[in-house]
Amino acid sequence: MFKLFKDSFNTTNDCIILATPLIIFMAILGWFFRFTLAGADTVPKLILGGVTLLVMASGFLSAWLYMCKKTIRLSKKIVIFDKDRARAFGTLILSLPKGLGKLFLPMLGVIGIYIILFGIIFSISGLVIDKIYPSFDPEILGLHIDQLVTSNEILKEFKELAIEDLPPFVYWYAITIIGSFILNFITMLWIPEIVYNEKNAFKALFNSIKKNFQNLPNTLILYLYIAFLITFITLLSAVLMFNPFLYFIVLILYYYFLVYIVVLLFTYYEQTFK
DSSP 88-122: HHHHHHHHHHHHHHHHHHHHHHHHHHHHHHHHHHH
Is 222 a residue whose pLDDT tops 90?
A: yes
Going by C-alpha positions, the residue among 254, 120, 113 that lies closest to residue 190 is: 113
pLDDT tier for residue 260 given thresholds of 50, 70 and 90 = very high
Confidence at residue 84, expressed as pLDDT on a 0 to 100 scale: 52
- pTM, rounded to two decimals: 0.81
The whole-angstrom separation of Cα 29 and Cα 64 is 14
For 24, 122, 176, the CA distances from 99, given in Å and listed in that order, are 18, 32, 33
Is 171 a residue whose pLDDT tops 60?
A: yes
The pLDDT tens digits for 83-118 are 555 555 556 666 667 778 888 999 999 999 999 998
For 23, 24, 39, 96, 101, the CA distances from 65, given in Å and listed in that order, are 14, 15, 31, 9, 12
| Percentage of the chain lying above the pLDDT 90 cut | 22
The pLDDT tens digits for 1-56 are 888 898 888 888 888 888 888 888 888 888 887 777 777 677 777 788 888 888 99
Is 128 a residue whose pLDDT tops 70?
A: yes
Confidence at residue 144, expressed as pLDDT on a 0 to 100 scale: 45
Domain range for residue 60? 2-273
Angle of helix 82-132 relative to helix 166-186, nearest 10 degrees? 140
Confidence at residue 80, expressed as pLDDT on a 0 to 100 scale: 45
The whole-angstrom separation of Cα 50 and Cα 57 is 11
On whether the CB atoms of residues 45 and 39 are closer than 8 A, the answer is yes
Looking at the structure of the chain, the number of domains it has is 1
Quick one: CA torsion of 122, 235, 225, 195, rounded to 10 degrees?
Answer: 60
Mean pLDDT of the chain: 79
Q: What angle do CA 237, 119, 139 make, to 5 degrees?
A: 80
